[in-house]
Amino acid sequence: MGIMSTVLGLVGFGWGIGIGLVVGYFLFIYTQPVDVKDPVIRPLSELDSKTLRGLLPEIPHWVKNPDYDRVDWLNKFVRDLWPFLDKAICKIIREQAKPYIDLYGPKFKLESIEFEQLTLGTLPPTFVGMKVYDTQEKEMIMEPSFKFAGNPNIVVAVKAFGMKATVQLVDVQVFATARVTLRPLIETFPCFSKIVVSLMEKPHVDFGLKLLGGDIMAIPGVYRLVQDLIKEQVANMYLWPKTLEINVVDDANAAKRPVGLLNVKVVRAKGLKKKDLIGKSDPYVKLHLGEAHHFAKVTRTVKGNLNPEWNESFKLIVHDPSTQNLELHVYDWEKIGSHETLGMAVVSLKKLNPEENSTEILTLVKNMDSNDPSNNKDRGTLTVELNYKPFKEEEMNDIEEEDEDGAVEKAPEGTPAGGGLLVVVIHEAEDVEGKHHTNPYARVILRGEEKRTKHIKKNRDPKWDQRFEWILDEPPVSDRLHVEVMSKNLGFNYHLKALSQGLLCIDLGVQEPLGYVDINLSDVVNNKRINEKYQLIDSKNGKIQVELQWRPS
């Protein structure tokens, strides 16, 4: 009986499902929902702009915004030229990627990284509109808005530990609006010397990434992470006012042609915080425009004063007042080691009215990151007087020469008569590498006095941009400056390894020389200023850039 009841139950269950599906099908087909209403049909002329944009999201910019011009001719030009542009762009990608592959491949124990396939596909980008600005300056500014939904075939093969894996980039979509500036306009073909490119907003980038046949971007959370990472990295590098500069004509005078002069008077600071355990700070101010560290100006050092007064004036050459910022860094001078930062301030030149004097009381902060909570800490104030003076065409050549000569000023008060101030700026090194570790810093030795830059961890191309000064009783015409790049192991692993090999390591921070150079100072005494790259001795390919200034009393 138990078996029969089970069989009958299964048969009844099957019949019930079948009958239910048939009845449900007929009810779905032959019944009408009662809550469905016919759509309201209205002519387009009665719809507002917001509704139209919702119905037609792909309206090009030249339709929505009268400032954008229709550029069908440009799309046809790019479409016809695309097969050749594709090859040219891919060649640039290979050339730009090779140094990074050579540098980072061995560090990550990769045997080889190579492009098996590299093409951007057959679909060119489409320009949906272009805006052109008239600035009344010797430049041309365009803002093209473009979309690229291509079918590229980019396959990268990676070999490591005897195994090979391929990564394929597919289904790329890029939507962006860029600003392209051709400047300055010159009288030599192609009539502009530089292309300056920046993004006006964070771009939309979408793509697929296949590894071992599967799409990595389909993994939950990876897509959003990669999207945010790309947008932030691209924004950090190219979002306006940051730019990508491409030199077209190798014309140094045109490339750095100035448009104005900024007069800066560093008046005083108040309420500085001391860094020394004993005594007060010895503050001085270093100022420059944006990234132009090579032409930085420096005030004298005021000994033992947290409310120093300088009242020193400087002239800085302005190349683009719409994007350049005046940076002022207050340091505590140290006889040994690097100078400590007391605070900094930034002034945007676009806020200054030309030809008008402006007195600014600037609040000192730790850095330029507005979200850093440490910037809320009181670090004192810095008072400066500013005046931006645009100048005419005939003044430009004279100003350029004044900038080169004015980069070397007179020695500060108190310098011995017949002597002067020797300024040494260690900018950067290239292609330095140690046998066991590469944490480079530079030692600068003159007349037995040694000064050091900061350490930079795991970097073959370190940038220091650190400044050192010597007050001398007489011109150093017979002296040689010894500059040596060293690497210091900052951890404990190398010490243990050395002990295991039977080496005696007294200092846990084992030093390793990366190369040196001896510079004859008679040249800088005669020329007042030298800024050169020197080949490092006892280094295979290493170089170091050193700037020297001699300021006589």
Structural domain including 468 reads: 401-552
Mean pLDDT, to the nearest integer, of 467-480?
85
The pLDDT assigned to 307 comes to 92
Secondary structure class of 30 (helix, strand, coil): helix
d(CA 268, CA 368): 21
Specify whether 301 is located in the same domain as 406: no
Same domain, 203 and 268: no
In this structure, of 9-18, 240-249, 329-338, the range with the lowest mean pLDDT score is 9-18
The residue ranking higher by pLDDT, 25 or 184, is 184
Q: Is position 39 within any domain?
A: no
CA–CA separation, 476 and 519 (whole Å): 11
Taking the C-alpha atoms of residue 454 and residue 337, their distance in angstroms, rounded to an integer, is: 8
Q: Is the pLDDT at 269 greater than 90, yes or no? A: yes
| Residue at 176 is within a domain | yes
Over 70: is that where the pLDDT of 282 sits?
yes
Q: What single-letter DSSP state applies at residue 69?
A: B
Residues 241 and 302 in one domain: no
- Indicate if the pLDDT at residue 33 is higher than 80: no
345: which residues sit within 8 A by CB, 6+ positions away?
327, 328, 362, 363, 364, 365, 382
Say if residue 411 is in the same domain as residue 528: yes
Number of domain units in the chain: 3
The answer to whether residues 433 and 344 belong to one domain is no
Question: Could you tell me if 379 and 473 lie in one domain?
Answer: no
What's residue 184's pLDDT? Answer: 75
199 and 120 inside one domain:
yes
> Do the Cβ atoms of 430 and 461 come closer than 8 Å?
yes
Cβ–Cβ contacts within 10 Å for residue 354, how many? 10
Q: Give the pLDDT band of residue 16 (cuts 50, 70, 90).
A: low
* Helical (H) or strand (E) element with 188: none
Same-domain check for residues 58 and 147: yes
Does residue 172 sit within a domain? Answer: yes
pLDDT tens per residue, range 508-523: 446 889 999 999 998 8
Same domain, 533 and 413: yes
Query: Who wins on pLDDT, 507 or 340?
Result: 340
13 domain-assigned: no
Instruction: Reply yes or no on whether the pLDDT at 137 is more than 70.
Output: no
pLDDT value of position 536: 92
Domain edge (last residue) among 331, 361, 390: 390
| Average pLDDT of the segment spanning 500-514 | 56
- In this predicted structure, the answer to whether residue 401 has a pLDDT above a threshold of 60 is no
| Mean of the per-residue pLDDT values of the chain | 76
Contacts of range 226-235, beta carbons closer than 8 Å, 24 or more positions apart? 230/205, 231/202, 231/203, 231/205, 234/199, 234/202, 234/203, 234/205, 235/199, 235/202
Examine the fold and report which residue of 359, 390, 421 is the final residue of a domain before the chain moves on: 390
Do 136 and 186 sit in the same domain of this protein?
Answer: yes
Indicate if 67 and 185 belong to the same structural domain. Answer: yes
Looking at residue 270, what is its pLDDT?
Answer: 92
Residue 304 scores a pLDDT above 80: yes
Domain final residue pick, 247, 270, 288: 247
More confident call, 302 vs 138 = 302
CA–CA separation, 65 and 130 (whole Å): 10
Q: Are 527 and 518 in contact (CB under 8 A)?
A: no
Of residues 224 and 30, the one with the higher pLDDT is 224
Least confident among 79-83, 165-169, 431-435:
165-169
Residue 424 burial (C-beta neighbours within 10 Å; 0-12, 13-18, 19+): buried
Please check whether residue 511 lies inside any domain of the structure.
yes
Instruction: Out of 148-152, 198-202, 260-264, pick the least confident.
Output: 198-202
Task: List beta partners, residue 181.
Answer: 141, 196
Domain-located, residue 25:
no
pLDDT at 444 over 70: yes
Q: What's the confidence (pLDDT) of residue 393? A: 58
CB-based contact 273:313 (threshold 8 Å): no
Amino acid identity for residue 287 in this structure: L
The pLDDT of residue 382 is above 90:
yes
Total H helices, total E strands in the chain? 9, 25
Structure confidence by residue, pLDDT tens digits, 223-265: 677 767 766 766 666 666 667 777 666 544 444 456 788 999 9
Question: How many Å apart are CA 547 and CA 469, to the nearest integer?
Answer: 12
On whether both 433 and 356 belong to a single domain, the answer is: no
pLDDT at 384 over 80: yes
10 belongs to a structural domain: no
Within-domain flag for 380: yes
- How far apart (Å, rounded) are the C-alpha atoms in residues 424 and 449? 13
Closest CA to 310 of 290, 326, 286, 289: 286
Indicate the pLDDT class of residue 303, thresholds 50, 70 and 90: confident
Band (436; pLDDT cuts 50, 70, 90): confident
Q: What is the pLDDT of residue 253?
A: 42
Spell 148-157 as b/e; 16+ CB within 10 A means b. Answer: bebebebbbe
pTM greater than the 0.85 cutoff: no
> Any idea what the CATH number is for the domain that residue 283 is in?
2.60.40.150
Q: What pLDDT sits at residue 501?
A: 43
H helices of 208-297, where?
222-238, 252-255
Span 8-28, average pLDDT: 65
CB 221 within 8 A of CB 303: no
